A and B are shown apart, each in its own frame.
Chain A
Amino acid sequence: MSSGTLYDKVWDLHRVKELPGGSTQLFVGLHLIHEVTSPQAFSAIHEKNLGVKFPNLTIATVDHIVPTSNQQRPFNDPLAEEMLTTLEKNCESHGIKFHGIGSTSQGVVHVMAPELGLTQPGMTVACGDSHTSTHGAFGAIAFGIGTSQVRDVLASQSLAMKKLKVRRIWVDGALQKGVYAKDLILHIIRHLGVKGGVGFAYEFAGPAIEKLSMEGRMTICNMAIEGGARCGYINPDETTYKYLKGKEYSPKNQGWDNAIKWWKSLASDSEAKFDDEIRLNGSSIEPTVTWGITPGQGISIKEKIPNPELLPHNEQQIARDACKYMDLEPEKPIEGTSIDVCFIGSCTNGRLSDLQEASKIVRGHKVATGIRAFVVPGSQKVAKEAKQKGIDKIFLKAGFEWREPGCSMCLAMNPDKLEGRQISASSSNRNFKGRQGSASGRTLLMSPAMVAAAAINGKVTDVRKLLQE
């Protein structure tokens, strides 16, 4: 059993009670809500005549259903409009702060909350969204919950949860030029599998992790869930403090000095015990692309699409399904695979540095003929800062569309969708069948810079070739 890890310390600080069933009642320090998974939770507390216990500890935004081309109200889609108005009403009647359409802080919940300084080390963060693991980048214990648990958190500021085991994933070395946090996490999921993390929290540590920016760290923790780990985190350090300093909700003055002392005390001890430990070399990782229908089906840009018959027995069937669905030929290189659509955005890779890195590839080039390419900033703040730096112009000049913030084609709950058998190069997090809005649509996951390279060449490209030019 783990001890002395950040996970253990934060867990203990928030433990209300051991419940008779063997799970723990855990206090939730920050509860984030959005329009998709909250309406039924509010209905449930209304039915039971319960209030919201600590309205100040719940923060709302709207992200999944927002159109990215025209955000005029009412939305063209009446169902989307109904979801938004329901959230507005629920927030208003319960005194919950709502960062809605028109607010300068609206955005994808896992982008906007960190940039406001809402997410801080040592917190428990819950949200009805599996990518809540993102917030672990700050040394918080953050996890996705279902709607019944959203109801429980609204009503009691706590939920019933089983303590996870802790696996430390230690990454030595440093990522090479043209290799990004996205490549690292796709590489990790490839090797540990999409269910390797079930029952675990992942602690990401080691020199290659420490060198990552906060935005890179968020990309890593964001996709912990794609490896089956409900929660992923990174110990807070100077990079974390520097990011948080001066943010709207960050502690100020004397509080700031005290906060740093407390945050430092939460990091995993040097003699902490882990339930499992894994070591990887970050220096040898290459740009990584998925070829299949799970985020674990990734290969380096230099590799060939695997032959399902040569894979370990338990991976064969899903690999056969993947080859059939993706219509990709085994033993052919992934590099050079033609694509139709390029999407840069999402809670995984819709932050400023993601757009910046992609724009470096795009600058001075044109999107290949016949390719539809678009950029969806993760939040209003990302959009604003990108515009201040002229990043929007670089994309527009190259032939990309520049959109308003939202989840967009990561899961296609708004009008941004693949059509028919289209295949996308996407900076998002899931390549499941039908994920991007067409029941037969296909997705290749990769870093935003790799998506940019794919847009320019019209096919999967090793971004390092464009970096050399």
Chain B
Amino acid sequence: MKQEFPKGEIKSIKGRSFSIKGDDIDTDRIIPARFLKCVSFSALGEQVFADDRKELKGNHPFDLENNKGANILIVNDNFGCGSSREHAPQALMRWGIRLLVGESFAEIFFGNCLALGIPCLTASKKEIIKIQKLVDENPKQIWSFKLDELSISNQKETIKLNLEEGAYKMLYSGKWDATSQLLDEEERIKKIFKNLPYLNNFK
């Protein structure tokens, strides 16, 4: 069953999870550039990690039967580095991912996920490796993420996670889609426009 895309307040996420292991996994690997030749994001879900999947001939985590329908992805350090392409989180989202937990995330990728309502939470290397081990041992278990507790739990174990305050508030309030807030400030924007020397011929 297809899940709906994130909407409104993101306070809890429940589901199965799996890992993509390795540091510095860049957005070219998440979605190779040839799939950027599109004017809509709609087909990207099937193309996530296309080259890595092809190489592993059905044994890539995104192809394993056990992982179908999972919505939580556990990753390592500096995930999503490189290109700013929003196609990368779009591809993950359209495949079904709704939450990422990792050692750290590249900055633009983190922001792009947030703009789609997909939280990226962090924990220490030790904790992430522990989660990855638990997930590997039993891919069928259900994990429950609670934003207000900043934790993820499989009933037996609860692991504390970190999230910067700004992103926390945006997800909690449902205001992670910034457009309407930005549009509220038309007067202030006009004022800045009128005061910037380079937009006024340096008069």
Contact = CB atoms under 8 A, between A and B. Distances in A.
B82 A146 contact: no
Nearest to B51: A439
Most A CB within 10 A of own CB, among B33, B83, B115: B33
A446 B194 CA distance: 44
A152 interface: yes
A230 B108 contact: yes
A158 B179 contact: no
Contact of A146 (B111, B175, B177): B111
Contact of B179 (A23, A57, A155, A254): A155
A435 interface: yes
B39 interface: yes
Contact of B33 (A79, A161, A412): A412
Contacts of B181: 19-20, 25, 160
Given A22-B169, A65-B37, A433-B29, A146 B188 contact: no
A120 interface: yes
Contacts of A254: 202
Nearest to B105: A198
Contact of A412 (B34, B54, B106, B165): B34
A301 B175 CA distance: 50
A318 B86 contact: no
Contacts of A43: 39-40
Interface stretch (B2-10, B20-28, B65-73, B142-150): B20-28
B22 A228 contact: no
Interface string A118-160: 0010110000111010000000000011111101100111111
Given A21-B166, A23-B166, A199-B107, A79 B189 contact: no
Interface in A60-115: 64-65, 77, 79-80, 82-83, 86
Interface string B83-118: 111110110000000000000101110011001100
B32 interface: yes
A255 interface: yes
B116 A25 contact: no
Given A228-B107, A258-B197, A439 B179 contact: no
A37 B84 contact: yes
Most B CB within 10 A of own CB, among A21, A29, A230: A21
Contacts of B196: 13-14, 27, 29
Interface in B5-53: 22-24, 26, 28-29, 32-34, 36-41, 51
A158 B182 contact: yes
Interface string A381-406: 00000000000000000000000000
B173 A21 contact: yes
| Range class of the A interface residue count | 35 or more
Contacts of B78: 194-195, 198, 228
Given A148-B86, A432-B26, A27 B192 contact: yes
A6 B159 CA distance: 41
Contact of B32 (A50, A151, A255, A439): A439
Contact of B77 (A23, A144, A195): A195
Contacts of B166: 19, 21-23, 162
A25 B169 contact: no
Contacts of B175: 20-21
A146 B115 contact: yes
Nearest to B111: A146
Contacts of B108: 130, 144-146, 225, 230
B82 to A, nearest CB: 6
A130 B29 CA distance: 16
Given A146-B112, A195-B104, A294-B24, A29 B199 contact: yes
Nearest to A296: B24
Given A21-B166, A435-B33, 19 more contacts: A20-B175, A21-B169, A22-B165, A130-B83, A144-B108, A145-B108, A146-B108, A146-B111, A146-B112, A147-B86, A195-B77, A228-B81, A228-B106, A251-B201, A256-B202, A317-B22, A318-B24, A430-B83, A432-B29
20 contacts: A16-B192, A17-B188, A21-B170, A36-B85, A37-B84, A37-B85, A50-B179, A50-B183, A77-B37, A86-B39, A128-B86, A130-B82, A130-B84, A146-B108, A148-B112, A152-B179, A157-B193, A228-B107, A255-B201, A432-B28
Interface of B: 22-24, 26, 28-29, 32-34, 36-41, 51, 54-55, 77-78, 81-87, 89-90, 104, 106-108, 111-112, 115-116, 164-167, 169-170, 173, 175-179, 181-183, 185-186, 188-189, 192-193, 195-199, 201-203
Interface of A: 13-14, 16-17, 19-23, 25, 27, 29, 36-37, 39-40, 43, 48, 50, 53-54, 57, 64-65, 77, 79-80, 82-83, 86, 120, 122-123, 128-130, 132, 144-149, 151-152, 155-162, 194-195, 198-199, 225-226, 228, 230, 251, 254-256, 258-259, 262, 294, 314, 317-318, 321, 411-413, 430, 432-435, 437, 439-440
